Amino acid sequence: MGKHQLKEHDYASKYPLFNPPEHEFEQHHITYNTSIQTLNQLIHIAIHTQLYTLDTESVLRRYQHNEPALIQIQLIRPHHLSTILLVEVQHLPPIHSEEFGKIQDLFSAILVGKNTIYVWGELSELDSFVKFGLFSHQQLLLPEAINQQNEFKLFWQSAHPHQPSASADCRCEQCLLDKLDGETWSLQDAMAHTLEVWLDKRLTIAPFDIGLDLSLQHNNNSQQEFRYQMIRYVRNDCLAMEKLMEFMESNSQQQTKFTCVIPPVFPESTSSCIEQTPTVLVEDEVIISVDEDINLNVPSVSSLEKTIRPSIDSQPSLVFTAVENPPKSTMTAEAKRSKNRRKTLKCRRKQFLSQLARHDIYHGFTVEKVRDVLDRADIKYTKIFKTPLVPAPNRQHHVFIGLQEGQDREELERRTKNWFTESHFNRLYFPHRRTPSPSLHRDQGRSKRSDHYSPLHSQQRRTSTPPHHHRTRAPPPNPQHYKYHQRRR
């Protein structure tokens, strides 16, 4: 029995199964069978939703990259049932159909700047799904993505610090799960040690591309039951993140410290000294001549007495005020990188509010060359983002240009329509080089070989060839044998 199987058996024997009832959420499959009416309703819900949880599933391919299969999205709305979307990317409608356009509109309503998406990991796991055409790389930069895996690690470190004395009550991550500072938590471990439930992860490598929607094909009883199990598996990941989010928020609000703020109290000796009436000594008399027109605002002795004498009639009392001190936790290197990543994405969203996007550009255009082209055309930009960063001839390259305020985006779209192609690259950096079209190649071939398609000329060429000259016969391999036959004659 492997390590993961032992952990599954341990959690299953200790905790109850995490399986929220189906009346707490709504579930929709996004496939080629999804109607336009259903997609319009989901778009309306997504427009009025700002909090999401997201997860993805892929299928293992031997000696190859994993094949993307499923996107699970949970739409969390206050005072409403949460909506779970299961987008089966291997069973989408045709790319030019109206249904496919509606699915694109659905993702456009989700991937906007006002929304917050919780992911157990990084939102970059959606990069492998861009090839299906539902969203683009620049859309993934718009929403605020929160790595709940790192957030939970910081939460546990602040709530359960290591106890110096070796005791069984220490619940730090190193004593509990033998985790180092750089190691992350699995969602199953987090659910087990916080909510004390068992999140079943036995179907991690299941074939999620077979079509979970029962309306896609006819299934017998065993096939239906297997699909039900996979559906429960994928939706429970999103529901577990929601429950964990609520647990962390409720515990963070309860962690307040009460501090005693005591005002200073005068001692009895000081109060007796203050109560004495101050006396003015005039032994050293000084004569000062002052003009009569000048009024000196000198307070009287009685007013000085009132000012100096404090009101100490009331007894001093202790005042207790509750001051909320958030727990200070030392951030690990991984947490710092995650925080810097969120700041970078937030700054990048501001830089790409108005942008130009050019897809499938020539791989020779690096970021420096794109910047050079924009400077030559006097186009004011804020930031340039290119993927991939390293030129690779066998991959598709995309560039996103953030525009400054005052730039006419439609006019620039028209100007740059044919930019960043191979012919554009040759015109700029290799004027002597040309990229002829296939038709030009074909015409040049015909001009050089005008007789290629002329049967008459081919016949003439065959008939005009000179006849082969007769060659002299080679001597026999055995000259003695030849002489012997001559002598016998």
Residue-wise pLDDT for 87-128, tens only, equals 999 999 999 999 999 999 999 999 999 999 999 999 999 999
Pairing mode, if any, of strands 397-403 and 355-361?
A: antiparallel
Neighbouring C-alpha atoms within 13 Å toward the C-beta of 67? 15
CB neighbours of 193 closer than 8 A, spacing ≥ 6?
Answer: 171, 176, 177
Given pLDDT bands bounded at 50, 70 and 90, which one contains residue 27? very high
* Residue 175: strand pairing partners: none
Would you give the distance in Å from CA 362 to the centre of its chain?
Answer: 26
> Quick check: 341 pLDDT over 50?
yes
Of the chain, the percentage scoring pLDDT greater than 70 comes to 65
pLDDT of residue 436: 55
Question: Which of 135-139, 311-315, 467-471 is modeled with the greatest confidence?
Answer: 135-139
The answer, yes or no, to whether residue 343 has pLDDT greater than 80, is no
- Helix then strand count (H, E) for the chain reads 16, 11
pLDDT exceeds 70 at position 366: yes
Angle, vertex CA 436, rays to CA 433 and CA 442, nearest 5: 140
Coil, helix or strand for 27? strand
Q: What pLDDT shows up at residue 383? A: 80
* pLDDT at position 358: 83
Mean pLDDT computed over 153-164: 82
Is it true that the peptide bond before 299 is cis, omega within 30 degrees of 0?
no
293 against 404, higher pLDDT: 404
Q: Residue 351: what pLDDT? A: 64
- Lowest average pLDDT, out of 71-75, 134-138, 201-205, 352-356, goes to 352-356
Q: Is the pLDDT of residue 281 over 50?
A: no
Which segment, 7-16, 101-110, 306-315, is predicted with the most confidence on average? 101-110
Q: How far apart are CA 27 and CA 74, in angstroms?
A: 9
Phi and psi (nearest 5°) for 184?
Answer: -100, 165
Confidence (pLDDT) at 168? 60
Instruction: Write the burial class of residue 377 (CB in 10 Å: 0-12 exposed, 13-18 middle, 19+ buried).
Output: exposed
Mean pLDDT of 125-148: 93
- For 252, list phi and psi in degrees, rounded to 5: -70, -35
Residue 477 CA from chain centroid, whole number: 84
What mean pLDDT is predicted for residues 281-305?
Answer: 43
Instruction: Give the confidence band of 273 by pLDDT, cuts at 50, 70, 90.
Output: very low
Hey, is 353 helix, strand or coil? coil
Task: Judge whether residue 230 has pLDDT over 50.
Answer: yes
**Distance of alpha carbon 33 from alpha carbon 215, whole angstroms:** 8
Q: Are 119 and 184 in contact (CB under 8 A)?
A: no
Q: How many percent of the chain have pLDDT more than 90? A: 36
What is the arithmetic mean of pLDDT over 133-142? Answer: 93
Domain boundaries, the chain: 3-162+171-251, 352-429
What distance in Å separates the CA atoms of residue 180 and residue 189, rounded to the nearest whole number? 15
pLDDT band at 259 (very low <50, low <70, confident <90, very high): very low
Q: Which fold has domain 352-429?
A: Alpha-Beta Plaits (3.30.70)
According to the per-residue pLDDT averaged within each range, which of 170-174, 256-260, 267-271, 329-333 is highest?
Answer: 170-174
Cα–Cα distances (Å) from 353 to 104, 368, 384, 405, in that order, read: 20, 22, 13, 9
On the question of pLDDT at 423 being above 50, the answer is yes
pLDDT of residue 303: 46
Structure tokens at 449: 């070989």
Mean pLDDT along residues 355-363: 83
* Secondary structure E strands in 171-282: 257-261
In which band, very low, low, confident or very high, does the pLDDT at 278 lie, cut at 50, 70 and 90?
A: very low
Phi first, then psi, for residue 118 (nearest 5°) are -95, 130
Instruction: Find the helix or strand (DSSP H, E) in which 195 lies.
Output: none
Structure tokens at 248: 């962390």
* Average model confidence (pLDDT) across the chain: 76
- d(Cα 150, Cα 337) in Å, to the nearest integer? 10
Which residues lie closer than 8 Å to 204 by C-beta, 6 or more apart? none
CA distance 10 to 310: 70
Taken as a whole, the chain contains a residue count of: 489
Quick one: average pLDDT of 274-299?
A: 43
Q: Which two tokens stand for residue 349?
A: 């969203």
Q: What is the pLDDT of residue 123?
A: 92
Asked if residue 475 has pLDDT above 70, the reply is no
Whether the CB-CB separation of 38 and 104 falls below 8 Å is answered with: no
* pLDDT per residue as tens digits for the range 58-91: 998 887 889 999 999 999 998 899 999 999 999 9
Q: Can you give the pLDDT at residue 360?
A: 82
Distance set, CA 13 to CA 10, 192, 348 (Å)? 5, 12, 47
CA distances from 426 to 133, 299, 436, 441 (A): 30, 91, 11, 18
pLDDT of res. 166: 56
Residue that wins the pLDDT comparison between 46 and 317: 46
Model confidence at 412, pLDDT cuts 50, 70, 90, reads: confident
Q: Which CATH architecture has domain 3-162+171-251?
A: 2-Layer Sandwich (3.30)
